[in-house]
Structure formats: C-alpha cells, structure tokens
Chain A
Amino acid sequence: MAIEVLYFAWVRERVGLPRERIETGAATIRDLLAELALRSPGHAAALEDHAALRCAIDQKLTGLDAPLAGVREVAIFPPMTGG
C-alpha cells in the first residue's frame, strides 16, 4: 500500500525530507520504522531509537505498535514541546 510519511523537528532534519510517499507492506509503525531506516544513513540516524520517537496515524497520536492497514498518512516526530 502507498502511505504518505511526514517527519517533524529533528526527525525531519536527520531524514533530510519533510515528507515522502512510500510503498510498504509493514504491519505496524514499528515495522515501518525498520523499513524506512534502510533508506539512507539519515533515515537510520533519525529512526533508530524508537524510545525517542512519537507518531500519529491519520493525524491522531498513537503508539508504535498501532496497525497500518488502511492508513493514508503516518507522521514520525520527537516528543512534542508545545505550550
């Protein structure tokens, strides 16, 4: 399936892209992160430490083990620092 993947803050900077469209068969976000990490050294540096990452599926916060079936947009980012 095709998924739009968005990156924010230092994840975006390390990956070197704000977003990319990918084809994947990954079952969960955790699986997707492992796939994405193989794309470039920047991806690997951004995505290797899962504990430092947060994510959203179709613009809703979720955990890394959330299933990806039917998903259009996944965002990967550091812990939020609003307020």
Chain B
Amino acid sequence: MENVSLQEGQVPDLRVNIGSLELANPVMTASGTFGYAREFENLMNLHRLGAVIVKGISLHPRAGNPPQRIMETACGMLNAIGLQNVGVDRFITEKMNYLAGLNIPVIVNILGDSLAEYEEITKRLAGVPGVAGIEVNISCPNVKKGGVAFGTDPAMAAAVTAAVKNKADVPVMVKLSPNVTDITLIARAVEQAGADSISLINTLIGMGIDLKTRRPVLANVIGGLSGPAIKPVALRMVFEVARVVSIPVIGIGGIESAEDALEFMLAGATAVQIGTANFVNPRASEDVVDGISAYAANEKLTSIRSIIGGLRLDSLKDHATSSHNPVAK
C-alpha cells in the first residue's frame, strides 16, 4: 500500500497495471454489454475508459439463440444471447479498425467449444494492431467433454489457459465462471497455467418461468444472471480469489457506481468491469471513472492503487478464522 498523501493541487493517479498492461484508470467495460464500443460513441467519452472489452468472439460466426433471449429479474437480468458474434475474421476486418483508433487498450473476449478453437482464435488475433489483451471466457461448454463448461473444472480451465497463452502475443486475462464449488481452485489452476490476470465473475446460471404460458421465459431455458442482484456473490469471490493468487484480479458483477467499484478494489481487485449497468445508464462506465477520481481526490490518495486489497480485517480476526467462517447461516 502506498500511503503518501495527496498534496494540494495534485491530481490523484488513477493508473493501474494488469501485468504488463497499464490502464489509465481501473474501469473497463464487460464483454457482451458494450457491443464493439462504437454503439456508445454518442453517449459517453470512450477515451475516458481504462480499457474496452468487446463482445465475445468465436472462431466462426455464431447466430446466437432464438428469442426470447433476455428477461428482467429482481435487481438483475437473465440473458441467453447464445454467444452471437461475427467470428474472429470479420471482427478483425470490420471492428478492429474503429477500436484501434480509440487509443485505449482493447481487450478481446474469446470463446470456443474446444481447445483447438481457443488456440486458433488466439493465433488469428496475434499481431492484429490495437489488440492489447485477450480475455478468455471459460464458461463455455467443452464439446469433447460432454458439454461440461471448461470453467467448472480446474484441469480443463488450466488447459484452455495454457493453450491461449501459448499462442498469444498480448497479456491473457482468464474470466472465471462463478458456478463452481470452490472458485479458488480454478483461480489457482489458471494462474499456474500462465494467466496474466483473472477476471470474475461471469454470470450465475438462472432461469425464469412464465406462469401464464407455463413455459421457460428464455428459449434457451436457462440463462446468465447479472446485475446488482449478484454483487454480493461477486464481491465474495473476488475477495477469496485475490487472497490466493498473486496475479491481478479484475472484479465484475453488479457494479453500477464508483462506490461499488471501490468496494471491489478494497476486496482485492486491481480493476473492475462494468456490465449490465451500461444498459441502464449508457454513461455508467464514465460515471464510475469520474466517481473514482473524485473519491481519490477526496481521500487525498496519491494513487488509487493504495486501496487495492485494502479491506480492514484486523478487528475481525477471531470470527473470520473461526470454523464457522466458510458457511453463512
């Protein structure tokens, strides 16, 4: 922790480092919630972002799921977009040009149904101007292993990470699925496999039912739960993971405001991603940057880095380490 206090007239330093990647501030946009950034150009100042993470890209274009794809839930939403995207080649030719011109780090979220697919996408992204990092979505089903998600098994998660790392010429961020018994096992596995950073959480798996039609609301039956509803789960997992890995952790889940973002940083996140909030307030990510900046100035922090992992646990030691800790009731 850097505890030097901000001097009169000084501006707080909002930069953070995700491995070799330096961000101007800790605020990124979460994959699948910010399109390919251009959608937002009229609504906020894209240059203010720490980084932009684009919609998940697969090897081949995917049409996605039939409608209904989304549904509102209490303080959240379910989505089953079905990974609709233009495929890596069209992404490079049609989308990267604009993105590269933004002069902010562009992180490409990738997904696949097999190790070979992850590898091949990474290969195609290598050397593409403007790509500053790769985020690996491991919540996808491994078709070879009966459709079990890569992200729910430490060995499979490690294998994907290693495969991508092997071909990548930019830092690799691995995005964890929260639908697991022990998130720290997956986190350690991907760290050991070479991940440069870990982002979490992806969506919780949920479902909605329409009582009138007696059918699932989503055509895909199940979907991913996001938004403020999941924030407590996300915060807990970020806290757990940040304690057991030494690579940077990026917090995601229900972040709507600078306060939310700062709580994730206290829990150990080096940076954060704004997801569902972009739908509610298209300026949300910029508002979070402003809020973090104001907080840092207010608290006279020379650098925002000083709050990373700064959660105070001292007075709680007795209970926090008691045998009851792992369970809440």
Real complex partners, A and B?
no
Chain B residues at the A interface, C-beta cutoff of 8 Å: none
